[in-house]
Structure 1
Amino acid sequence: MAKILAMKYILIDKIKNFEAGKEITATKSVSLAEEYLGDHFPTFPVLPGVLLLQGMVETASWLVRASEDFAHSMVILEEAKNVNYKSFADPGTTIEYHAKVKKMDEDSSTFMAEGKCGDKLIVKARFSLRHFNLADKDPGKAKIDSQVVENLKKRWQLLCKQ
């Protein structure tokens, strides 16, 4: 049986607001206990910029999944444009990510997103996502798609708890 790999880092702690097909707001609390902060940078720990972008992508991915009733097991970054880093997110801060749909089709979507710490904008970007199932190219992977979707539905429930 194939092993289902999960992302090592989950960069969203909570879904605060969700409007199907339109927009979503999620939060991430940055903790000094996160292992990547030990290396980035040891005397000035901050959330790496690529993880700020990934937080926006994860936020938008949840919007796609929930809006499409979890029709696809895979929602991945296809292209990022105009990524603009304005400031740092250090331990003890909470990032609020907001993603707004520009276009959403069955197999792709485009977003404008930003991350803020309080009222301070720290990152913004435009990006597109691709949505698909593994079974689209290999029908033998339909069971894996089903398992991934079930796990994502469970995580969605946890993220939406108040």
Structure 2
Amino acid sequence: MLNINEILYILPHRYPFILVDKIISFKKFIFLNAIKNISLNEPCFQGHFPENPIYPGVLLLESMIQTTGILLYKSVKKQILKNKDMYYITGMNDVRFKHFVFPGDQILIKSILEKQRKKFFFFKSIVKVKKKIVCKAKIMCVRIIKK
């Protein structure tokens, strides 16, 4: 659905902090599914941990945030471009790590818009490897209107 060049257009992140490789499905204001391929070449594996490489949980959370950002952008694109509105993460709740992620795994990141209240957006995000949930969290963000 979206390739890496389109993702790079949307997100301000760059290597080594771009943590979404491809968008595979999307429904405006409902959900977005993304993929990230975990490779032993990732810079984090130099220190986390060389003898037993485990993908850091904080990077799983960041991939969830980036997926949520793409869902929001794709849903409100015209408003962002017209008004130059900015969206910022304000919190993460109910974060749970269920299983480890290893080099060679492909993670599926799903972001779901649960509700919107005025300028606040509430999402649920789930990361899976081979249909097994490895991480889940609730994500909140706020729209800042540029004046």
TM-score by length of structure 1 reads 0.74
1:103 to partner: Cα distance: 1.4
Contact 1:11 1:54 in 2 (8 A): yes
Is there any run of 5+ residues in structure 1 with no aligned partner, and where? 140-162
Q: Percent identity?
A: 29
Q: Does the C-alpha gap of structure 1 residues 102 and 13 become closer, same or farther in structure 2, counting only changes over 3 Å? A: same
1:120 to partner: Cα distance: 1.2
Q: Which residue of 2 aligns with 1:143?
A: none
CA distance in 1, matches of 2:44, 2:86: 25
1:25 to 33, 49, 61: 33
Q: Which residue of 1 aligns with 2:74?
A: 66
1:40 to 45, 48, 64: 48
Q: Which residue of 2 aligns with 1:124?
A: 136
1:132 to partner: Cα distance: 3.0
Cα root mean square deviation, aligned:
1.9
Is there any run of 5+ residues in structure 2 with no aligned partner, and where? 1-11
CA distance in 2, matches of 1:48, 1:110: 24
1:55 to 53, 63, 81: 63
Query: Which residue identity lines up with residue 84 of structure 1 in the other structure?
Result: R
CA distance in 2, matches of 1:74, 1:52: 23
TM-score by length of structure 2 reads 0.81
More strand by share: 2
1:111 to partner: Cα distance: 0.6
Q: Which residue of 1 aligns with 2:120?
A: 108
Q: Which residue of 2 aligns with 1:153?
A: none
Q: How many aligned residue pairs are there?
A: 131
Structure showing greater Rg? 1
